A = this chain, B = another copy of it.
Amino acid sequence: MTETEIAALLRFFKALAHESRLRLLGFLAQRARTVQELASLLGLTEPTTSHHLGLLRNAGLVTLRVEGNLHWYDFEPSELAPLAKSVLSRQNVAHWAGQARAEKPDRLIQNYLESDGRLRLIPASRKKRYPVLAWLAAHFDLDRRYREPEVNQILQTRYWDSATLRRELVGYRMLTREKGIYWRLPEEQWVRMDK
């Protein structure tokens, strides 16, 4: 086994040898996320989060897609991390996330909220609409079924046009519907940000 292969192996194991990074991978295995969202989920600052993401990227465990100002990281092991490709399934890794930190909504969402916490408007650009819809989806329990009036009622606490929100949520597969009954889908089934 060559010098560089050992070095790659070492980078790989070192990347996984810290709780913050396991949790980061967990959240990324659920769906692609931006740095500030991850920082808020973990309760760390953005520079620290950025540092950890750099290590994960170096180990070939995550990818980065830059979209304007936003950096979308995703759990996507490369050939650099053959062990990861064969062993770490998205499903399993998603469980490493653990408890998210007290979810004060991140700045991006805050910008679209009134002081009373209601939505000012639905962001026009796809890349800003996505996190806002994700935040709305979190208003629903994963294991509960809802009838349409209930869905509307919940959404109306956040925005006057509940019908549009409902349609958008279904479009992104954050909610789904069958025979008039709605329920929330787990994040790994959402239409991915980057697709």
User: Could you list which residues of chain A lie within 8 angstroms of chain B, going by C-beta atoms?
Assistant: 1, 6, 9-10, 13-14, 16-19, 22, 83, 86-87, 95-96, 98
Contact = CB atoms under 8 A, between A and B. Distances in A.
Contacts of A9: 22, 96
The secondary-structure label for the interface of chain A is helix
Contacts of A96: 1, 6, 9
Of residues A17, A87, A96, which shows the largest number of chain B Cβ atoms within 10 Å of its Cβ?
Answer: A17
Contacts of A22: 6, 9-10, 13
Tallying the copies of this chain within the complex gives 2
Given A17-B10, A17-B16, A1 B83 contact: no
B87 A1 contact: no
